[in-house]
Structure formats: structure tokens, C-alpha cells
A and B are shown apart, each in its own frame.
Chain A
Amino acid sequence: MSAPVLTEPDALAPARPSMAARVIRGVLPYVLALVLAFVVAGIVIAALGYDPIEAFRTILTTSFKTGFGFTETLTKWVPLTLLALGFTIPLAVGRFNIGGEGQLLVGATAAAGVGIVYADLPSAVLLPMVIVAGVLAGVVWAGIAALLMGRFHVNEILSTVLLNFVSFQVLDYAATEVWSDPAAGVAATQGVGEGAELPTIGGPPGVHAGLLLAGAVALATILVTRRTSAGFELRAAGTNPRAAAINGIRVERVAVIALIVGGALGGLAGALEVSGVHGRAIEGMQTNFLLLGIIIGLIARGSAVWVPVVAFGIAILEVGASSMQRTVGVPAEMVLIIEALILIFLLLSDVIAGRLARRVA
């Protein structure tokens, strides 16, 4: 057993909660939130004139019925997990990285650039270069916000959000001026060299090897936050910045590093999307990863252990959504509504479960 996760919001919990109270507090909010979200979404779907049972069956089973569906789910899981961790790591020190998509896009642009310019290099050389380029671009992008925050106390929410808009232009410039591919039909760069593409594991159809990398990153995050001094300082600085500072932790520096690490993960996600999925950088490739990453991070309550699990659940919903649109006719956006409802009900039921637990205890 390692130290408990500090981000649990029950600092004022009774000193000796009974077993029943603990169960109510821990599990009940999730069950309630899931059930309520699906009930409300079901009512909306029925009101729109579709069959909610059929819609939910499609959403929840697509990922497991076919190899293709499962592959798709795992492929989605990669950027979702990385962006969610990129959000939760700075969140542990109370800072909000809302720049995941910007970090992803500059990461993708840098990765594509390297993959195009050095297209002839062998995979063993080029692939690491592509991934490192993506990570570094993410570091630089978040580093701008981190520098502004650490030096000039510029609010990181503002700077990371605004840098997202800048990143659209960076990718646009690369895709239309520098490495444009008129034949692509969409605003996209040329394809990267063969050596820049990630190998596929399993299959067919198979998942790109970036899955292993993302899994390793998720495991490393757990290890770092729970077992290293740096992780301890991150949690301490987030729990009580004053007490942490008095005990020798440089809180502002910890926050700057956390934000930069978050950016590195966003950049990595961009590089993996280029070398594992699209083979190029495409405008709009960020879809709604930023939003989903934040939702995942919040549902997981910032826990590095739960982020990959929640990300998997959200990936199932996302993959099921397009299938639902094809077979049942319900707009795919309905899934986003469900995801948002889960989060809202989770926050609400926290309050309710807290009151219940106090009564039981």
C-alpha cells in the first residue's frame, strides 16, 4: 500500500468513518451519477423519437462486438489518457492546464515536420526523433504559459487557452504554406516518411504501438506521484501551499514544472496521433480531446490510477457514439451530453453522499 491520494475532497470527514459510510462515500456517487446520466439521456433520446434502449445497447457494445471497434477504442484511449494526465498533473498543485489541444497541435506539427523533412531516415532513428520533437514542442508551448505564470503571475488558465488559438495558426501555416499537400482534400501536411510511422501491434486491424508508450506514461505517473520525492512535493504543494513552503518546498517552481510536464504529455499525444493514426498533421485533428481530457480528469478526481480507467470508459462511449448515429440515427453529440451529465451528477451526488455518510457515521 502506498500513500492515499491527496486530492480527495473530504478533509473535513469524520475522524472514524464507519465501513458503511466509507462505501457510501466512495462508490455511491459514481453509481448514482452513471444511472442518472443514462436515465436523463434516455428521456431526451425518447423525446427525440428514438429507441433509448437500442441506442444505449449500441453505445455500450460496439467496442466489444468487433475487433475493429475495440481497436478504435484503444486508439482513442491514447490521446484521452495523455491529455487527461496533462490536465490532472498541474491540477495536483491547483493549476489548470486548459491548453491540452494547443500542446497536442504543436506537438503534432513538430512531429509531422520532422517526419517530412527527414523522411528518408530509417525508423530506428526517425521514430524517436519524431516523438521527441512532439514532446519538446509541447514543453515549449506549456513552457510559455509556465514562464508567464512563474515570473509574472499571469493566470495560467488564460495563457493556456489563448495559446490554443495560436496553435491553430501554427498548424495552419505548416499545413498550407510549409508542407502543404494540395492532394489531401483537407487542410493537412504531407504524409510523414515511412520511418516515422509507429508499428502496429496485434490485429488486424491492430493498434499502433503508441498504446504501449501511453500505458507506460500512465504507469510512470502513478509511480512518480506515489513513490518519489517530486511526487510527494507535488501533492504537498497542492494540499497546503503555505505549509509546504514553510517546510522547504518551492511551491511556485513545483507548479511551473507540473505545467511543463502537462505540456509534454499533450505534445506526446500529438506526436502519437501523427505517427500512429493519421501519418500527417491535419487541421481539426484535436477534435474534442481537450474537453474530454478535462472531463476524465475531473471524474477521476485527479487520481493517476483512475484516469486510465475513466479514459477507457469515455473511449467506449465515444466509439459507440458514431455507431449509434449510423444504426439508430441518434446524433453522436448525445454522447457528449451523457459525459457531461455524468460529471454534473457526480459533483451533485458528492454533496448528497457526503450528507448521507455523515448521518450514517
Chain B
Amino acid sequence: MDKRGIGLSAIGYGLTVIAAGFLAAALYAVFFIAPQEAVLGISQKIFYFHVGSAINMLIVFGICAIAGLVYLSIGNVRRSWADVADAIGVATAEVGVTLGVVVLITGPLWARKAWGTWWTWEPRLTLSLMVFLLFLAYLALRAFAGSDRFGRGVAAGLSILGIPAVYFIHFAVDRWGGAHPQVVYKGGLTQPGMRLAFGLSVAGMFLLSAALVWLRLTTERERQRLDALYLEVDRRAG
């Protein structure tokens, strides 16, 4: 690995360390500073990480869609930009799926305690599930749609369609689910300790996502450069 590569991974590891710090602080705030919620008790505390993951999953998904837009709109004109956009696309999609797993595990755990059922079609949880499924389809397209490059283009198109889709899914499941109790965060995090814990969790999960995306991105860029080197060798040899 050359100097630039080392520098780039150093940013990733740096981000990881900062994220770890924030997450440790978040854990402390969640368990020792934030007061226990009156009705839900201790189970409410999983909410901080549940929502933190969900928010960041949506952010990461948005970036994936923007990368898809860049890939398809200027990909054929500037191949180097397309490579960057594609690397961002795969990195964000994979991290998004990981965050989705966190959301979909913590959601039912909480639902079990709060409402006595493992799954509830609460609108936000349903939306998270749908976004998660879209991400999985995105990765499936990249893997199975055809030649490498064609699959990437089709997947980029799907990520762009995801933007209006999320809007419509949100509206639909919101009106459809309707009946479930609105959870604490609508009523607000009344206590300052809760707000601190919430802020730290969201920030910590954001930094963790950023670190993971960055590391995955640098790996993908290295892979692209390796491909380019192989091609260069092949070009000179042939």
C-alpha cells in the first residue's frame, strides 16, 4: 500500500476510534444519566440505539441514491467519477443493510416489552423494513443482474427509484398502520438527560456508520485500482 492508501485508511481508523468514544459516552449517558422512562421502564433504553440506527440507515440510503444518480448521469462521460460513485454506492448499501439488521433486531425486542408482541406494524418500523428490503434487492442486483458493470447500472437505477418510493411507502404505511400507539419520541424526550443520551447515540451511530462506509469505500477503491493495474499489465503485454 502506498502513502496515499495509508493516509486514507488512517482516516477510517481515526473515525472508528472517535465513534468508539462517542458510543461509550452514549452507553454511559443511556444507563447512568438518562432517567428511566415512567411507563416503559428500562426496556425503553434500547430506543436510543434503535432510533440511532434507523436515522443513520436512512441517511446512508440517501447517500447511496445520490451516488446512483451521479453514476447514471455522468458515468459514461467520466469513468473515474463513475468508479467513485459506484464505490460509494456499494459501501453505503452494505453499511445500510448492517444498520437495518440492528434496527430490525432492536425493534422487535422493544416491541415485545412495550406491546407484548415481537412484531408490530408500527409505521416507522415498517418503513425501515421496506428500506432494508430495497437495500437487499440493490445488493442482489449488483451480484446477479448480469455482467459486473450492467448490474451496477441497474442497481444504481433502483437506488434512485428508492427516493420517491420511500416517500410513498412512508405515506402509505403511516395511514395504513394508523392505530398503534405513538411512541415516546413524538411526545418528546422531556428530560434533558434523555436528550443527551439520544444525541450521543445518534452521533455515535453516525460516526460508526461513517467509519464503516469509509473503510469499505477505501477497500473498494483499492480493488478498483488493483483491477486497473491488472488491466494495465494486460494492455502492455498483449
Q: Do A and B bind each other?
A: no
Residues of A within 8 A of B (CB): none
